[in-house]
Structure 1
Amino acid sequence: MARAVVLDPRSRHALFAGLPVRTLLSAAALDRLAGRADRLAGLDLLILDHGGVVRDPLGGVVDDPDPEICWLSLDVYEAGLLPVMLGVLMDGRSGRWAQSFSAGLDSPVFRRLMEKGYRLTRSDAQAPAIADYVMAQVMALLHPFSEQADARAEREWRRVPFREVGETRWLVVGLGAIGGALASRLRPFGAQVTAARRTPGPDPRVDAVTSPDRISAVLPETDVVVLACPLSDRTRGLADDAFFQAMRPGAILVNVARGGVVDEDALRRGLGRGQPAWAVLDVVSEEPLPADSWIWSHPRVRLTAHTSAAGGGVQRRGDALFLDNLARFLAGEPLRNEADPAEVGL
């Protein structure tokens, strides 16, 4: 049972004509935010407990929640309660705003929520963790740690050469929160970074900016290609046969976007030619990955189960973003990371 939060009914913004704002969040999120109860003052809290039942702060069951605000936090997803919380939103009549734990809004449910009148804000809380993931995975390929371990196991005193990050050229497809965090980490290493994005003009975090339709001209001179773009009609199947045929032999591909950005059959053909030499896949087209998929056993694929955002600080940053946007929402101010309806096809 989540701790009860004492609310001050006098602390309400005039925007809501003196009425408490019905706000749905998980019991786990409320426990984390209990020390900042003042930030929740003036809200009529609806709490999704660990069994998927909506309750009030004193533990009573709420039969008709009808939330105006919702915090779709990461713990809801990890507990398998996301369909339950989304179902409450879809059944509601008064939806105003939902904060998502996700950076991407390609799921059809987000379109349905916006059709119901919800404003949606995405999360950038995972960006530092994903940037660290990319750096660690690529470092492990540039520095042949396994070969060094083999030498030790064989008791052979031999030097194992490696590539320096500062000698590499990177292409980051998508310069949002994740691509930007990665570019900021690469700069101190001296790597040459080009970003592909739809917005023209220079960016201080990278050495050059190109448009998505010019990617094929950059690929032949690129050592590491990182896909960090949203999944949309424009990017679905972006990494196809022509994409891989244009890659520099020996290059590394990293996908932390969505599985649908990569044509996986084309990737297998490319790996067979060394274009790319390695693929780091944190996302795949079908998740969980079927047991009979070739990706499991391919010697040139490093596979993780959509865990690049599993950093220790993600939940804390997500809570901070929700509280910041909550204050902005109640004050009638612009929200951080608000989605444009066009992003969900509206």
Structure 2
Amino acid sequence: MSSSSSLVVSLPDVEWIEAVGPVEGTELVVAGLLDVPERAAEIEVCVPPYMRRYDRALLRAMPALHLVQLLTAGYDGVLEVLPEGVSLANAVGVHDTSTAELAVALTLASLRGIPQFVRDGLEGRWAAPMIYDALADLRVVVLGYGAIGRAVTRRLLPFEVRVEAVASRPRAGDDLVDRVHGIDDLPALLAGTDVLVVSVPLSEATHHLVDDGLLAALPDGALVVNVARGGVADTDAILAHAKRLRFALDVTDPEPLPPDHPLWREPNVLISPHTGGPTTAFRPRAVRFLREQLTAYVQTGTVPHIVAGPGRG
């Protein structure tokens, strides 16, 4: 805690301060992080902007900083500039609902041929009758069984699917799945997978986790849905398998995807422009989350959901 009577917390702008505050025991100040904040020497907790570019190196210009509280679930890009001794917390629970909704929407759209319907509609063409893939009775592997993976699973189960959950380490099941497989079990699961939903954080361990070997192990016609980070998947491998497999990608590498990139021209690839989190559900959830996190910090000197730095569980 700071030596002053109130904890100095920076939020991205006045609108955030009005929405979140007041929080007992804190003084909320503005720090958009485009330049050195006016109160940089006093800021102990910094909440960087959401969906807006900022200078991450400015985190090092805050000598009293103890905690960076992100408004995103992902934290890649911030770890590299996190000052020594500073904790980093992500926004667990804030984006679960919206990202899970999109994962299900992309899955259904890809299976039921929605992208082709749109293309046909633009040309006024009524497609010939055919049998479309249902989600029902398929085997879905959720790769990354954290908060978002659980939210995806909870929404998939009513569609009468069989879900296999995979995390970094095996553990007992919960109210949604009988067991959680470890990552070492993944190769054995892939051959019988109809839909692979990827929701892991991007790290050294998960960079290009979805590579040529993983995709080659999937059966013809399988669908890969990536709502994680673009770097989790090898783009060259996706292109190599785009004729045999289907892909629904909310994230790409590179991102934004250049207009002339060959992924745009693959009919089996559905792309949404990283829209998993930014919905009308974000703001109220983020406001409640920040109040809870700041209250916890005032009372205990730490917060849940620390992903790096002191206090990481």
Give the TM interval when normalised to the shorter protein.
Answer: 0.7 to 0.9
User: For the Cα contact (< 8 Å) 2:2–2:44, is it kept in 1?
Assistant: no
Distance in 2, Cα, partners of 1:167 & 1:133: 20
Report whether the alignment pairs 1:70 with 2:46: yes
User: For the Cα contact (< 8 Å) 1:66–1:89, is it kept in 2?
Assistant: no
Distance in 1, Cα, partners of 2:221 & 2:62: 53
Shift, 1:334, TM fit: 5.3
Shift, 1:214, TM fit: 2.2
Shift, 1:316, TM fit: 1.6
RMSD: 2.8
User: For the Cα contact (< 8 Å) 1:65–1:88, is it kept in 2?
Assistant: no
Deviations 1:39-67 (CA, angstroms, capped at 9, x unpaired)? 2x33233213698684xxxxxxx365441
Q: How does 1:1-346 map to 2 (within 5 A)?
A: 19-26=5-12, 27-33=14-20, 36-37=21-22, 39=23, 41-48=24-31, 54=37, 62=38, 64-72=40-48, 76-80=49-53, 82-83=54-55, 86-107=56-77, 109-115=78-84, 117-124=85-92, 125-145=94-114, 150=120, 153-154=124-125, 160-204=130-174, 205-272=176-243, 274=244, 276=245, 278-332=246-300, 335-341=303-309
Gaps of 5+ in 1: 1-14, 55-61
Give the alignment's TM-score, normalised by structure 2.
Answer: 0.87
Distance in 2, Cα, partners of 1:333 & 1:255: 36
What amino acid is the match of 2:15?
A
Distance in 2, Cα, partners of 1:286 & 1:139: 25
Give the alignment's TM-score, normalised by structure 1.
Answer: 0.80
What amino acid is the match of 2:187?
S
What amino acid is the match of 1:130?
T
- Sort the Cα spacing of 1:63 and 1:198 in 2 relative to 1 into closer, same or farther, 3 A: closer
User: For the Cα contact (< 8 Å) 2:35–2:58, is it kept in 1?
Assistant: no
**SS of 1:250's equivalent?**
coil
Deviations 1:118-158 (CA, angstroms, capped at 9, x unpaired)? 211101211110100010111112223466675995568x7
Distance in 1, Cα, partners of 2:34 & 2:237: 43
Q: Which structure shows the bigger proportion of residues in helix conformation?
A: 1
**Which has the greater radius of gyration?**
1
* Count of residues paired in the alignment: 307
**Identical columns (%):** 27
Gaps of 5+ in 2: none
Shift, 1:281, TM fit: 1.3
Q: Which has the higher contact order (CA 8 A, sep 6+)?
A: 2
**SS of 2:148's equivalent?**
helix
User: For the Cα contact (< 8 Å) 1:23–1:46, is it kept in 2?
Assistant: yes
Shift, 1:164, TM fit: 2.9
**SS of 1:78's equivalent?**
coil
Shift, 1:291, TM fit: 3.0
